[in-house]
Amino acid sequence: MKDSFVIRGNIIYSVDKDNLSVTEGGYAVCEDGICRGVYRELPDEFKEFDLIDCGDKLVIPGMYDLHAHAPQYAFRGLGMDLELLDWLNSQAFPEESKYRDEEYARRAYRIFVEDLKNSFTCRASIFATAHTEATKILMSYLEESGLKTYVGRVNMDRNAADYLVEESAEFSLRETVKTIEETAELENTKFILTPRFIPSCTDELMKGISDIRKQYGLNVQSHLSENFGEIDWVRELCPWSDFYGDAYDRFGLFGGEDYKAIMAHCVHCSDEEIALMKERGVYVAHCPQSNTDLSSGIAPIRKYLNSGLKVGLGSDIAAGYTLDMFRTIVETVQVSKLYWRLVDESMRPVTVKEAFYLATVGGGSFYGKLGRFEEGYEFDALVLDDSSIRTSLELNPGERLERAIYLGNTSLIIMKFVSGREISLEKSAQ
């Protein structure tokens, strides 16, 4: 049967945010892309399935990247000495303007998609640029990759240099609809509405995006309360709003019963904003690397977890410098310790187990029933060979996973599955 097999190995996943399920030498069963559970002994009904014997290797769920900018991948690791608004003007916008040129877009997006394919990430929510053809190129490459993604053609009709800003709200909306309709046939790659952030979008544009949302039933992704200068600017631009998130909400773009919204960063949310995020079911895309790189601050993730918000992790490439979600897990833990020590001693640090949960189950729930090897979950998985990380200690599989998260990189991945389909890995330089 297609997409049906059994993997034998050390199978690990988060049962909840504080507990891992670890089955040493167990069997994870995938039937038609859906998990049928993990067993110590393989039940007779699955004995006919192909067996992939991974021996002593680690088998874990795929990682989910809730926030990445594909066109910024080209300059990752460069220009990190600025804050958000100066960084946008000097790094992000000049690079993004190059995607007007389809040939450049092909070259750059080919590299991005190959590297994403070889990464820990199985599903992602991605910003493209304000260019229809380049966005379609990115979506077609992602479709071929077998990864499952949401991709947005970025809307931005104000407050950017002439060489990038869209000529009018009407133009931006028309091109958005064109992109939605011309990519509707794709299976793995779905369109997500992507107003860049409030400073980039006129009220007329936001209103039009909201109408498109209702018409096509789409999800939304954007940025929220990332940087002090940005937050002050939103207050000036939208004096009619009570707070930043309210400016999205007034247009019906902040999540609700019939659609989901991802808001990236959420570093400086007020209690009022947090209460509305909870009410609307907003997904926080926590991007610790970017928040450090652009000196934005430390998002209070413990507070969000205590408040019952939905939280996943994001690379925010290229304000984050790597697509590596293991790094994002580590940095989630590290910055939470600084927050606890330096900002608020009542907010205890995020544990490694919790951060692993956020990278798998937390973000995964945006895309469906994902992140656990339990009956009915979609089968996204990574097989890791950690034998290159040498030690004189005898470690159990849970300890080996923790160590791989801290010390490993994508070279550990020997197999990767999305909905039970194996992704072919090409080992290329990062």
List contacts with Fe ion (CB under 5 A).
Answer: 264, 316
Q: Which tokens is 71 given?
A: 């066109």
| From ligand GUN, Fe ion, none, interface partner of 36 (C-beta below 5 to 8 A by class) | none
Q: Shortest gap between Cβ of 320 and Fe ion (angstroms)? A: 9
Nearer to Fe ion, 65 or 316 (CB): 316
Shortest reach from residue 318's CB to ligand GUN, in Å: 8
Q: Say which entry of Fe ion, ligand GUN, none residue 276 contacts (CB below 5 to 8 A, set by partner kind).
A: none
Q: How far is the CB of 299 from ligand GUN (least distance, A)?
A: 12
Q: Name the binder of 386 from Fe ion, ligand GUN, none, CB < 5-8 A by kind.
A: none
If the CB atoms of residues 71 and 255 are measured against ligand GUN, the closer one turns out to be: 71
Nearer to ligand GUN, 36 or 265 (CB): 265
For the CB of residue 137, give the shortest distance to ligand GUN in the complex, in Å.
19
For every residue of the chain, which 3-state class applies, written as one string? CCCCEEEEEEEEEEEECCEEEEEEEEEEEEECCEEEEEECCCCHHHCCCEEEEEEEEEEEECEEEEEEEHHHHHHCCCCCCCCHHHHHHHHHHHHHHHHHCHHHHHHHHHHHHHHHHCCCEEEEEEECCCCHHHHHHHHHHHHHHCCEEEEECEECCCCCCCCCCCCCHHHHHHHHHHHHHHCCCCCCEEECEEECCHHHCCHHHHHHHHHHHHHHCCCEEEEECCCHHHHHHHHHHCCCCCCHHHHHHCCCCCCECCECEEEEECCCCCHHHHHHHHHHCCEEEECHHHHHHCCCCCCCHHHHHHCCCEEEECCCECCECCCCHHHHHHHHHHHHHHHHHHHCCCCCCCCHHHHHHHHHHHHHHHHCCCCCCCCCCECCEEEECCCCCCCCCCCCHHHHHHHHHHHCCHHHEEEEEECCEECCCCCCCC
Query: Minimum distance between the CB of residue 197 and ligand GUN, rounded to whole angstroms?
Result: 4
Nearer to ligand GUN, 225 or 419 (CB): 225
Nearer to ligand GUN, 36 or 69 (CB): 69
The one of ligand GUN, Fe ion, none whose footprint includes residue 22, by CB under 5 to 8 A per kind, is: none
Closer by beta carbon to Fe ion, 316 or else 378: 316
Nearer to ligand GUN, 6 or 84 (CB): 84
Instruction: Name which of 96 and 316 has its Cβ closer to Fe ion.
Output: 316
The residue type found at 407 is: L
Q: How far is the CB of 223 from Fe ion (least distance, A)?
A: 6
Nearest distance from C-beta of residue 290 to ligand GUN, angstroms: 5
Residues within the interface to ligand GUN (CB under 6 A): 69, 84, 88, 92, 196-197, 223, 226, 290, 316, 319
Choose the one of ligand GUN, Fe ion, none that binds residue 197, judging by a C-beta under 5 to 8 angstroms depending on kind: ligand GUN
415 binds, among ligand GUN, Fe ion, none (CB under 5 to 8 A by kind): none
Buried b (16+ CB within 10 A) or exposed e, 238-272: beebebbbbbbbbbbbbbbeebbbbbbbbbbbeee
Q: Which does 226 bind (CB under 5 to 8 A by kind): ligand GUN, Fe ion, none?
A: ligand GUN
- Least distance from ligand GUN to the Cβ atom of residue 376, Å: 35
